[in-house]
Amino acid sequence: MAQITLVDTTLRDGSHAVRHQFNEQNVADLASGLDRAGIPVIEITHGDGLGGSSLQYGRSLLSDEEMISIGVDTVQDSKVAVLLLPGIGTHVELERALDLGAKVVRVATHCTEADISAQHIEMTKSRGALAVGFLMMAHMLEPDDLAKQAQLMASYGADVVYVTDSAGALLPDMVGARVRALRSALDDAVEIGFHGHNNLGLAVGNSLVAVESGATWIDGAMAGFGAGAGNTATEVVAAALDKAGHEVVGVDIFELMRVAEEKARPLLPSSTTISRSALMLGYAGVYSSFLLHAYRASERFGVDPAEILLELGQRKMVGGQEDMIVDVAIELSQGRADQGATNSR
């Protein structure tokens, strides 16, 4: 059975659920709890990574530097990780994060654009940190083509490369095929990771399939915090992996359950559920962090958020195109107005 490195993303991807408003006490409490539970890697930044705090992606209550500093000062054994999307974050933010004590850097690109990760992966390695390649929206690329993109990240020095189900759109057989393709294409020294979202209710099951297919790094967020219907729940996937006979390295599963219940769950604005709009994310293959933006556009222009998400999926919109959500909402609103005028004649 596999030895699994469990990564918790509550303080990064999970921040979408609270509109990036974690405060100092939240960061300290969650980081401390995860450290006590033995989680080896804790990811901490704005939900869209270093440099993500902006009008387009949402302003954070705390800066990336403040969050990273709190995390580094709080943990004793866990490593603090940061996420960087080239074009949102730059080498300036990356250098500062490493100076503050980040030990793992996850460089995320759209699944067809691994080539833009080169300088950031190479910079990470030059500073002695562990480099992770993150191939987002992995459902949009066939397994063999995804493996070629993974090979690029590995050639730049990535220690781990992820199949990233940003939309929560992958079915179990699709996960297995992609992980196996990466495992066949990469040197044995490069590990494979899987990052899931629960928009189709498959996050934990998909994570188990990923491990059975060769993945050894699995992401989660406590209590299912996250964009869309939430990330794979860290405490649930840890229990499921343990029950399946896999070794979740260093993790005290019962302490993790306690921290998730007592520290994370009370911070959720509502129970994580697969709402109609969240389900549409998975069905249409839309980036999970688009959900809150779609709700805002829905309220502003009087259009059903599910209609907005379906149209975004049909147009194959990807992370970084959040500005198009407003454009789509305007077009749908105008279309309704035009149809109403026609019907009244």
Planar angle of CA 132, 134, 137, nearest 5 degrees: 170
Whole-number Cα distances in Å, 123 to 90, 92, 105, 284, 292: 11, 11, 10, 36, 33
Residue for token pair 């992606």? 57
- What CATH number did the domain enclosing 317 receive? 1.10.8.60
- What CATH number did the domain enclosing 246 receive? 3.20.20.70
Distance between CA atoms of residues 223 and 166, nearest Å: 18
- pLDDT band of residue 338 (cuts 50, 70, 90) is low
Does 174 lie in the same domain as 41? yes
Does 307 lie in the same domain as 240? no
Residue 50, domain member (yes or no): yes
- Which residues are registered as beta bridge partners of 42? 8, 80
Using the Cα atoms of residue 262, residue 228, residue 91 and residue 127 in order, give the sign of their dihedral: positive
Q: What is the pLDDT of residue 304?
A: 87
Please, are residues 287 and 208 in contact by the beta-carbon 8 Å criterion? no
The verdict on whether residue 173 carries a ligand-binding annotation is no
Does 207 lie in the same domain as 124? yes
Number of domains in the chain: 2
Whole-number Cα distances in Å, 219 to 7, 8, 126: 5, 6, 25
Does 293 lie in the same domain as 263? no
What percentage of the chain has pLDDT greater than the value 90? 76
Does 105 lie in the same domain as 198? yes
Residue 279, domain member (yes or no): no
Distance between CA atoms of residues 249 and 108, nearest Å: 24
The verdict on whether residue 195 carries a ligand-binding annotation is yes
Domain ends where: 267, 298, 314?
267
Residue 276, domain member (yes or no): no
Residue 48, domain member (yes or no): yes
**Which distant-in-sequence residues (6+ apart) come within 8 Å of 51 by Cβ?**
64, 84, 88, 89, 90, 93
Does 171 lie in the same domain as 104? yes
- pLDDT band of residue 339 (cuts 50, 70, 90) is low
Residue for token pair 């688009």? 290
- Of 1, 100, 97, which is closest to residue 52 (Cα–Cα)? 97
The verdict on whether residue 197 carries a ligand-binding annotation is yes
The verdict on whether residue 35 carries a ligand-binding annotation is no
**pLDDT (tens digit, 9 = 90+) per residue, 100-123?**
999 999 999 999 999 999 999 999
Residue 194, domain member (yes or no): yes
Does 307 lie in the same domain as 253? no
Distance between CA atoms of residues 198 and 205, nearest Å: 10
Q: What is the pLDDT of residue 277?
A: 83
Does 181 lie in the same domain as 309? no
Residue 280, domain member (yes or no): no
A 10 A CB-CB count for 139 gives: 22
- Of 216, 161, 169, 221, which is closest to residue 186 (Cα–Cα)? 161
- Which residues are registered as beta bridge partners of 41? 7, 79
Does 295 lie in the same domain as 161? no
SS3 329: helix
Please, are residues 150 and 182 in contact by the beta-carbon 8 Å criterion? yes
Residue 49, domain member (yes or no): yes
**pLDDT (tens digit, 9 = 90+) per residue, 187-235?**
999 999 999 999 999 999 999 999 999 999 999 999 999 988 999 999 9
SS3 74: helix
Say which of 16, 46, 139, 293 is annotated catalytic: 16
CA atoms within 13 A on the CB side of 269: 14
Residue 310, domain member (yes or no): yes
Domain ends where: 220, 237, 267?
267
Q: Is 16 tagged catalytic? A: yes
A 10 A CB-CB count for 119 gives: 14
- 237: Cα separation from own chain's centroid: 15
Q: What is the pLDDT of residue 308?
A: 87
The verdict on whether residue 336 carries a ligand-binding annotation is no
Q: What is the pLDDT of residue 49?
A: 97
Q: Which domain holds residue 152?
A: 3-267
The verdict on whether residue 166 carries a ligand-binding annotation is yes
Does 334 lie in the same domain as 205? no
Q: Which amino acid is at 135?
A: L
- Global pTM reads 0.91
Does 297 lie in the same domain as 250? no
Checking if the pLDDT of 3 tops 90, the result is yes
Checking if the pLDDT of 157 tops 90, the result is yes
Does 326 lie in the same domain as 260? no
